[in-house]
Chain A
Amino acid sequence: MSHSAEDVREEVRTYITVFAALLVLTVVTVAVSYIHIDSMAGRVLVALIVASAKASLVGLFFMHLKGERPMVYISLAFTAVFFVTIFALPMWTEGDHIIGTHHQMWDAGVEAPTMPEDTH
Chain B
Amino acid sequence: MDMQIPYTIDTRPDTGLTNPKLGIWLFLASEVMLFGALFSSYVLLRWGGDYWPNQAEIVNIPLATLNTAVLISSSVTMVMSWASLKLHDFSKYKLYMGLTFLAGVAFLVIKTIEYNEKFSHGLYPSTNNFIAIYFLMTGLHALHVIGGMVVNGFLWGPGAKMWKTEPEKFTNRVEVAGLYWHFVDLVWIFLFPVLYLL
**Which residues of chain A have a CB within 8 Å of any CB of chain B?**
3, 5, 8-9, 11-12, 15-16, 18-19, 22-23, 26, 29-30, 33, 43-44, 47-48, 50-51, 54-55, 58-59, 61-63, 69-72, 75-76, 78-79, 82-83, 86-87, 90-91, 94, 103, 106
Contact = CB atoms under 8 A, between A and B. Distances in A.
Interface of B: 11, 15-17, 21-22, 25-26, 29, 32-33, 36-37, 39-41, 43-44, 47-50, 56, 61, 65, 68-69, 72-73, 75-76, 78-80, 83, 86-87, 178-179, 182-183, 185-186, 189-190, 192-194, 197-198
A11 B193 contact: no
B32 A19 contact: no
Contacts of B56: 33
29 contacts: A8-B86, A15-B76, A23-B72, A29-B193, A30-B65, A30-B197, A33-B56, A33-B198, A43-B198, A47-B193, A48-B193, A51-B190, A51-B193, A58-B189, A62-B75, A69-B16, A71-B16, A71-B22, A72-B22, A72-B25, A79-B29, A82-B36, A83-B36, A86-B36, A86-B37, A87-B40, A90-B43, A91-B40, A94-B47
A108 B133 CA distance: 26
B198 A44 contact: yes
Given A9-B87, A63-B182, A55 B190 contact: yes
A110 to B, nearest CB: 13
A47 B198 contact: yes
Nearest to B15: A71
B197 A86 contact: no
Given A29-B193, A91-B44, A75 B83 contact: no
Given A5-B86, A72-B17, A62 B50 contact: no
A84 B29 CA distance: 13
A51 B189 contact: yes
B44 A90 contact: yes
A94 to B, nearest CB: 5
Contacts of A59: 182, 186
B75 to A, nearest CB: 5
A83 B32 contact: yes
